[in-house]
Chains A and B, each alone.
Chain A
């Protein structure tokens, strides 16, 4: 695939890490926001290549991990109804709700399906007019264009049996919440490359200025990540705090404007609860009023459902970077990928699961 081999070259990775070691003079904490980047960092052992001065803090950018427990419970309540087909991306099915997960509903005879694309859910609704097809629409800005297009297509075709349970979250409000949280240690951010490919980089300079923090838009391959870290360290050592784009082959300043236009039409900003973190103002998207008829929460009247988290799970501390996964007392004991207490252990992009699979106990 295009340039994948070059951006994975191990020898160059070691030299980049050595260059970071050459320029760093004191300790810095850099947060990679995106769960995909966390997965890549741990899988390739990039954090272990870095000099001891550079600490990576794994941020809240795994949408499966930050989807509130009550959203999972709402999905479970909807999936248990006769005549409903509930579709989602694979990772969501294993996330435990208060009592069970979606796989358990399927085992008990419910129609729960994994889809690759929201368009597959629209196709199911088209093919099965006798069933109510509900798509569990989670994700960051990267996934929003796809989910928005699914709604637009359903509206255009007047599909009365398609709806979405929406739990979309946004990166810039999360960066703001982290910088404002008491005890914050983050000195610089690696901004999520694929979120930025949709939204552009224009949202970040005001954040860099407001909080005096370098923000480097970064890709996902080992060399992309190390180059993002190198640029962040160069800025930190020089006392600068600016936006830099270290992923220009994919990300532009303006982003994907046709996608932003459709998102703006289909979604509207909403205060959103992040699992383990709490409510962050204007940090999510809901369906806009013009598309409210596709809102599964209204259609199935599950708005009253609330949920209580396991007291053992420290995923909130992990998501804010206050705790490394293996510092949690339940890590690898009560909580494993087979018996997860919280979503950071469920998703392959969750920091806890990434540590567990890499044997970082």
Chain B
């Protein structure tokens, strides 16, 4: 029920006084109410629940938590070099 999905904000607009935006969830783009994240910018990742963005995902904190695992010596090999981007890898032409 409290399921919330991260998505990337692609555009922001004012809909009769309500801040709305288009958010991309791994390829599926949906209309999302951004009224509760007035500072959000295009390109940011937001956590979306029942059509509302409720939190901006903090990239530095996301990497910091993974770094904690590395410091404990429990981050699996291959994740040690934290990926810089989650953009899909383009297949070779």
Contact = CB atoms under 8 A, between A and B. Distances in A.
A334 interface: no
A165 interface: no
A288 interface: no
A271 interface: no
Given A89-B50, A118-B51, A258-B37, 17 more contacts: A1-B7, A1-B86, A3-B66, A4-B86, A6-B82, A6-B83, A15-B74, A16-B69, A61-B2, A89-B1, A91-B1, A117-B52, A118-B50, A119-B51, A138-B1, A194-B54, A258-B38
A145 B62 contact: no
Max chain A C-beta neighbours (<10 A), residue from B33, B58, B77:
B33
Contact of A2 (B2, B38, B45): B45
B77 to A, nearest CB: 8
Nearest to A194: B2
Contacts of B52: 117, 145-146, 149
A110 interface: no
A39 to B, nearest CB: 9
B65 A227 contact: yes
A197 B1 contact: no
Contacts, number: 144
22 contacts: A1-B6, A2-B45, A9-B76, A9-B79, A11-B77, A36-B3, A89-B1, A91-B1, A139-B2, A143-B1, A145-B52, A145-B54, A146-B49, A149-B33, A153-B18, A156-B17, A194-B2, A227-B69, A248-B61, A251-B55, A258-B36, A262-B36
Interface of A: 1-7, 9, 11-12, 15-16, 18-19, 34-36, 61-64, 89, 91, 116-120, 138-140, 142-143, 145-146, 149, 153, 156, 192, 194-195, 197-198, 223, 227, 246, 248-251, 256, 258-259, 262, 347, 349
B4 A119 contact: no
